[in-house]
């Protein structure tokens, strides 16, 4: 009986060498994962190498003439064991947990532009929004240099032009539509085992948010100006009423000494009115007070008001930063509050010491004026006390801004 006999021809050798070249490339890739991959990647690579190694070694032995069972190839018999190892690598270590479907579902629903650059600055991945804004496809964008893109994306996605800070507000003027659009860019380094492998860039259109912030700032500025006008009215009205009282006193008392004193008081009040008006004009030109400048005004007033009087001034000033600013409306209200308190101490307290404490912490301003005078009864309140209370309430309600 004749059996079918196989002989190895030249094409069999070509096929075998081609297959084992591919197998060698596969082994080299698995070896790279064993060296550079994460913990889970190394475990998966070990199982995949074992699954490939067993049939390959047995087939190489057959080609070399080493056959445990003559005429029988052991490589196909090892395929079930290799299959079990591959199933273990895929399911046991969740190789397919981050599937292309899950990745697309995550990135493509993000309304912002998301781009991944490799270490060479080339585009490695992007979401659907990026393709829409540059009117291109994933196939055309993958692997290209961002400099090939149109403005402004060429500048915004080029690593050489990226600032050191992670977040930046970018502005682009659309000449065709005649509008300005604002974008917030965030740059996040991508690392694998503490080795930088690329950058993830997130660019979000914040035009509506930016315009809302500008509108809110305008409303706050208008409100502050209205309050400043109210403060100016109160200041000028108080000085004018005082001038009227002095003039009336001079008219009622015909003595030269009384009239001279009234005129000197009117002259002083007119100067004070000029100072108040100039102060309001400077505030309108400068919407915020610097903390140091504001405290210098407080110190100057307190020292000048107590000059020549038997009252010792104690100033206690604290701030978490010298670069902080206070809104003009709040700064002026608190300044006038301190001024009124010092004036009351001089007129009524009969004190020998007065303490003025100002402390700025984050977005809160603490001010305290106290003395060692004779004190007063809580009830009834005078009109001056009510004015101070109303001013405190208005200042507290307006709050502070950085």
Query: Which CATH number goes with the domain that contains 175?
Result: 3.30.450.20
In a domain, 167, yes or no: yes
In angstroms, the CA 223 to CA 219 distance is 6
Whether the CB-CB separation of 184 and 112 falls below 8 Å is answered with no
Instruction: Please report whether residue 345 resides in a domain.
Output: yes
- SS3 of residue 187 by DSSP: strand
- Greater model confidence, 66 or 366: 366
Domain boundary, last residue among 254, 285, 316: 285
Cis peptide before 152 (omega within 30 of 0): yes
280, 298: one domain: no
pLDDT exceeds cutoff 50 at 34 = yes
Under DSSP, the state recorded for 345 is I
**Highest averaged pLDDT of the listed ranges 40-54, 135-149, 245-259, 293-307:** 135-149
Residue 1 forms part of a structural domain: no
Residue (of 227, 223, 224, 264) closest to 242 by Cα position: 264
> 228 and 284 in contact (C-beta within 8 Å)?
yes
Q: 185 and 246 share a domain?
A: no
Q: Which of 180, 205, 230 is the last residue of a domain?
A: 205
Radius of gyration of the chain (CA): 41
pLDDT bin (cut points 50, 70, 90) of residue 60 is: confident
- Which residue did the predictor score with more confidence, 118 or 162? 118
CA 109 – CA 107 distance, rounded (Å): 6
Instruction: Dump pLDDT digits (tens) for 189-244.
Output: 888 777 888 888 989 989 888 889 888 878 877 777 777 777 777 777 777 777 78
Same domain for 57 and 119, yes or no, is: no
pLDDT band at 400 (very low <50, low <70, confident <90, very high): very low
Collapsing DSSP states into helix, strand and coil, what is residue 2?
coil
Q: CATH no. for residue 377?
A: 3.30.565.10
**What is the CB-side half-sphere exposure of residue 66 using CA atoms within 13 A?**
6
Residue 167 makes CB contacts below 8 A (sequence gap 6+) with 184, 185, 186
Q: Are residues 379 and 311 in the same domain?
A: yes
Give the residue from 285, 301, 316 where a domain finishes: 285
Is residue 99 over pLDDT 60?
Answer: no
- Total tally of structural domains belonging to the chain: 4
Task: Say how far apart CA 88 and CA 44 lie, in whole Å.
Answer: 9
**Please, what is the average pLDDT of the chain?**
76
Which segment of 74-78, 151-155, 195-199, 320-324 scores lowest on mean pLDDT?
A: 320-324
58 plus 135 within the same structural domain: no
Looking at per-residue confidence, does 34 or 141 come out higher? 141
Contact 136, 153 (CB under 8 A): no
Query: Residues with Cβ < 8 Å from 320, sequence gap 6 or more?
Result: 360, 361, 362
Q: How far apart are CA 209 and CA 14, in angstroms?
A: 65
| Statement: residue 323 has pLDDT above 70 | no
72 plus 113 within the same structural domain: no
Q: What's the pLDDT band for 397 if we cut at 50, 70, 90? A: very low
The answer to whether residue 354 is domain-embedded is yes
Q: Which pLDDT score is estimated for 381? A: 47
pLDDT at 87 over 60: yes
Give the mean model confidence (pLDDT) for residues 294-310. 82
Q: Is the pLDDT at 401 greater than 60, yes or no?
A: no
238 with 294, same domain: the answer is no
pLDDT of 27 reads: 84
The two tokens of residue 346 are: 């001089």
Q: Residue 354: what pLDDT?
A: 92
Residue 384 has pLDDT above 60, yes or no: no
pLDDT band at 322 (very low <50, low <70, confident <90, very high): low
Across 278-289, average pLDDT = 67
Burial code (b: 16+ CB inside 10 Å, e: under 16) for 235-258 equals beebbeebbeebeeebeeeeeeee
Do 315 and 276 share a structural domain? no
The verdict on 64 and 164 lying in the same domain is no
Question: Does 197 fall in a domain?
Answer: yes
Domain assignment present for residue 4? The answer is no
The verdict on residue 2 lying in a domain is no
- Asked if 322 and 291 count as a contact pair (C-beta separation under 8 A), the reply is yes
In whole angstroms, give the CA distance from residue 387 to residue 354: 21
pLDDT category, 18, cuts 50, 70, 90? confident
For position 51, what pLDDT does the model report? Answer: 83
Q: Are residues 297 and 398 in the same domain?
A: yes
Of 344, 394, 391, 395, residue with least CA distance to 371? 344
Q: Look up residue 182 and give its DSSP letter.
A: E
How many C-beta neighbours within 10 Å does residue 63 have?
14
pLDDT tens digits along 343-371? 888 888 888 999 999 888 777 788 889 89
The model's pLDDT over 165-178, given as tens digits with 9 standing for 90+, comes to 557 888 888 777 77
Q: What is the 3-state secondary structure (H, E, C) of 115-176?
A: EEEECCCCEEEECHHHHHHHCCCHHHHCCCCHHHCCCCHHHHCCHHHCCCCCEEEEEEEECC
Among 150, 187, 188, residue whose Cα is nearest residue 172: 150
% of residues, the chain, pLDDT over 70: 78
d(CA 293, CA 289): 7
> Residue 264 pLDDT > 60, yes or no?
yes
In 3-state terms, what secondary structure has residue 314? strand
Same domain, 81 and 109: no
pLDDT score for 398: 45
How confident is the model at residue 95, as a pLDDT? 57
Question: pLDDT higher for 258 or 369?
Answer: 369
Same domain, 199 and 298: no
Q: Which is more confidently placed, 20 or 41?
A: 20
Structure confidence at residue 353 (pLDDT): 92
pLDDT of residue 243: 77
> How many whole angstroms separate alpha carbon 12 and alpha carbon 17?
9
Q: Which domain holds residue 51?
A: 10-92
Q: How confident is the model at residue 385 (pLDDT cuts 50, 70, 90)?
A: very low
pLDDT for 355: 92
Distance CA 228, CA 285 (A): 12
């Amino acid at each position: 009986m004749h059996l079918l006999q196989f002989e190895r021809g030249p094409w069999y050798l070509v096929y075998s060498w081609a297959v084992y070249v591919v197998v060698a490339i596969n082994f080299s890739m698995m070896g790279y994962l064993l060296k550079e991959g994460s913990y889970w990647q190394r475990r998966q690579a070990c199982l995949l190498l074992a699954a490939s190694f067993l049939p390959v070694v047995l087939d190489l032995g057959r080609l070399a003439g080493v056959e445990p069972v003559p005429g029988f190839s052991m490589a196909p018999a090892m395929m079930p064991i290799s299959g079990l190892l591959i199933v273990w690598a895929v399911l046991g270590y969740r190789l397919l947990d981050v599937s292309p479907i899950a990745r697309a579902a995550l990135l493509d629903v993000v309304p912002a532009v998301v781009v991944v650059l490799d270490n060479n600055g080339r585009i490695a991945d992007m979401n659907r929004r990026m393709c829409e804004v540059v009117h291109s496809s994933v196939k055309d964008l993958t692997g290209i240099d961002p400099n090939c893109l149109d403005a402004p994306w060429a500048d915004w996605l080029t690593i050489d032009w990226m600032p050191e800070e992670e977040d930046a507000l970018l502005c682009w003027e659309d000449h065709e539509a005649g509008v300005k659009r604002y974008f917030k860019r965030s740059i996040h380094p991508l690392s694998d085992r503490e080795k930088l492998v690329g950058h993830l860039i997130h660019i979000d259109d914040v035009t509506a948010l930016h315009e809302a912030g500008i509108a809110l700032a305008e409303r706050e500025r208008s409100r502050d100006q209205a309050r400043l006008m109210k403060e100016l009215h109160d200041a000028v009205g108080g000085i004018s009423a005082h001038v009227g009282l002095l003039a009336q006193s001079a008219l009622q008392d015909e003595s030269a000494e009384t009239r001279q004193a009234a005129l000197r008081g009117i002259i002083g009040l007119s100067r004070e009115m000029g100072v108040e008006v100039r102060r309001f004009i400077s505030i309108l030109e400068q919407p915020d007070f610097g903390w140091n400048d504001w405290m210098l005004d407080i110190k100057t007033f307190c020292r000048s008001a107590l000059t020549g009087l038997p009252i010792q001034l104690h100033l206690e000033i604290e701030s978490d930063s010298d670069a902080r600013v206070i809104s003009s409306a709040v700064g002026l209200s608190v300044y006038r509050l301190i001024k009124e308190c010092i004036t009351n101490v001089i007129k009524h307290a009969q004190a020998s010491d007065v303490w003025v404490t100002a402390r700025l912490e984050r977005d809160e301003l603490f001010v305290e004026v106290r003395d060692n005078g004779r004190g007063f009864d809580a009830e009834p309140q005078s009109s001056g006390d009510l004015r101070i209370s109303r001013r405190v309430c208005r200042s507290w309600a307006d709050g502070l801004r950085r």
